[in-house]
Amino acid sequence: GDSVTQMEGPVTLSEEAFLTINCTYTATGYPSLFWYVQYPGEGLQLLLKATKADDKGSNKGFEATYRKETTSFHLEKGSVQVSDSAVYFCALRGSARQLTFGSGTQLTVLP
């Protein structure tokens, strides 16, 4: 079945550092890929998405590129801020139409 493997956290960075959170997936066919962000005590918010190979999703300075050859969708940001502190989830929607989530990566950005 479909699965998502995410870089384990927690990740702690200083403000303005470069961020990478790794995400790889296993799925049949051509899944759509998503990154969601969860702030403390809240639900999940869609951060970005990509629906086909080589697509790049971007939002709020975050980017991720759908790499079919490496089955990856790594999240990157060039300069993180304290307000980016949250839990980040990689997810895919495959042929079953259900979302499969990774285990989440806790990011803490220190001033």
Binding region for other proteins (CB under 8 A): 4, 6, 31-32, 34, 36, 41-46, 49, 51, 89, 93-95, 97-99, 101-104
Task: Kindly tell me which of 44 and 80 has the beta carbon lying closer to other proteins.
Answer: 44
Say if residue 10 is preceded by a cis peptide, omega within 30 of 0: yes
Task: Kindly tell me which of 80 and 102 has the beta carbon lying closer to other proteins.
Answer: 102
Cβ-Cβ contacts under 8 Å for 13 (sequence gap 6 or more): 19, 80, 107, 108, 109, 110
Task: Kindly tell me which of 15 and 52 has the beta carbon lying closer to other proteins.
Answer: 52
